Amino acid sequence: MFEFNIIIVTILKDKVRPVFPFTAIVGQEEMKLALLLNVIDPKIGGVMIMGDRGTGKSTTIRAIADLLPKIEVVQDDLFNSHPSDYDLMSDSVKSQIESSNHLPTRFIDVPMVDLPLGATEDRVCGTIDIEKALSEGVKTFEPGLLAKANRGILYVDEVNLLDDHLVDILLDAAASGWNTVEREGISVRHPARFVLVGSGNPEEGELRPQLLDRFGMHAEIRTVKEPSLRVQIVEQRSKFDSDPYICLEEFRDKQDELKLSIIAAQKRLPDVKIDYDLRVKISEVCGTLDVDGLRGDIVTNRAAKAFAAYKNKTKVEINDIKTVITLCLRHRLRKDPLETIDSGYKVQQVVNSILN
């Protein structure tokens, strides 16, 4: 058995980069649930994670990306194009498919792209080589971070410090699923389907309400106060730092189990139904809370379906809605500077009175 473990660890060292296992993360259930639901249904619209420094935001986000199964992409394509889904293909791949029956493919890890705070618009969206276009008549596109993040996760740490113009671009691309770059009459468009995850510390400032509303979910995390839990977190991290590969092996079965649950939920999602009465109650909650627009209704419906799929069900129940609705609505309430009640608690009060 000892020799077998040594062989396993050796294989892991060759093939697995040391990322803290998602199933080893203690606490922060709200953040973990929001991330899981977004990878089950990326159309939820991403998640904004606000919380204290040193609460494991970045660790958890990187861990969820490492948990996801590999995806099939067209070989040598700049945009991680899907070999059969037209909505996830670049224009060049579409034209190749029309002229050829077979394109070589390969499997890659789900892209996890970090967007640095100092990134320029060209770095995010990509740029067109105008000189080459004019001199050689060739439309050359240098892909940006949105191209690399297609079919993956785009993570923006300290998103509340990012330029509002760039946040707008990210949210537009995440909502439409496409990125268009136009320069000097030349236009390039490519798919940009990704889960947008932003994190930040509320002490450093909030996002504008118009931008915050565009995130599907909003998770708030706090520093763990219970001494025994804090000790458990420290011990888990120390164990990983001393030998990450042994830690990965320890949690391999749990990781594999969760990975299979995510895949099963993604397949089950199209079959999940939500009764008309429950949809009316969701809208009643949104109306009572005076939520502007209909994004709150739409996201809550999507998140409830994703949660039901994750729980191995094909029909949404009232408890599924109760579990996700605070995550979907707390950031959409109008801010009152004199209000002393936490927005999440305010949502919960209304939910308890309507969803019973």
Q: Which residue is catalytic, options 151, 193, 268, 295?
A: 295
Q: Tell me which H or E stretch contains 112.
A: strand 112-114
Which pLDDT score is estimated for 158? 81
DSSP string, 4-64: HHHHHHHHHHHH------GGG--S-HHHHHHHHHHHH-GGG--EEEEE-TTSSHHHHHHHH
Backbone conformation region of residue 327, classed left if phi is above 0, alpha if psi is from -120 to 50, else beta = alpha
Which helix (H) or strand (E) segment is 254 a member of?
Answer: helix 252-268
- Sign of the Cα torsion 6, 8, 11, 16 reads negative
How far apart are the C-alpha atoms of 114 and 134, rounded to whole Å?
33
Nearest C-alpha neighbor of 303 from the set 128, 41, 92 = 41
Query: What mean pLDDT do residues 172-187 have?
Result: 77
SS3 content of the chain, % helix, strand, coil (to 5): 55, 15, 30
Averaged pLDDT of the chain: 80
Tell me which of 321 and 56 has the higher pLDDT: 321
Q: Identify the band that residue 349 occupies on the pLDDT scale cut at 50, 70 and 90.
A: confident
Residue 49, pLDDT > 80, answer yes
Instruction: Please give the model's pTM, rounded to 2 decimal places.
Output: 0.82
**Residue 189 appears among annotated catalytic residues:** no
pLDDT at 320: 92
Mean pLDDT of 229-240: 78
Q: In this prediction, what percent of the chain has a pLDDT beyond 90?
A: 16
Q: What is the pLDDT of residue 137?
A: 61
Buried b / exposed e over 108-128, threshold 16 CB at 10 Å, is eebbbbebeeebeeebbbbbb
Going by pLDDT thresholds of 50, 70 and 90, the confidence category of residue 62 is confident
240's CB contacts (< 8 A; 6+ apart) are: 18, 20, 21, 24, 247
Give the pLDDT of residue 299: 93
- Decide the pairing of beta strands 71-74 and 217-221: unpaired
pLDDT value, residue 316: 92
Q: Domains plus CATH for the chain? A: 24-223 (3.40.50.300), 272-354 (1.10.8.80)
d(CA 49, CA 324): 15
Question: pLDDT tens digit string along 66-84?
Answer: 788 888 888 877 888 888 8
E-only strand ranges, 115-256: 126-128, 141-143, 152-157, 178-183, 186-191, 194-200, 217-221
For 355, other C-beta atoms within 10 Å of its C-beta total 16
* Furthest CA-CA distance within the chain: 69
Percent of the chain topping pLDDT 70? 88
Greater model confidence, 204 or 311: 311
Q: What is the dihedral of CA 337, 342, 343, 349, to 10 degrees?
A: -130
For residues 209 and 328, what is the distance between their CA atoms, to the nearest angstrom?
14
* pLDDT of res. 34: 92
Q: What residue type is assigned to position 128 of the chain?
A: I
Q: Which amino acid is at 268?
A: R
Give which of 345, 71, 334, 51 is closest to 198, Cα–Cα. 51
Question: What is the per-residue pLDDT across 102-151, written as a single tens digit (0 to 9) for each?
Answer: 778 888 888 888 888 788 888 888 887 666 656 666 667 778 888 888 88
Mean pLDDT of 176-204: 80
Rounded CA gap, 73 and 78, in Å? Answer: 10
* C-alpha 17, offset from chain centre: 20
305 has a pLDDT exceeding 80: yes
pLDDT of residue 184: 67
What is the reported pLDDT for 14?
45
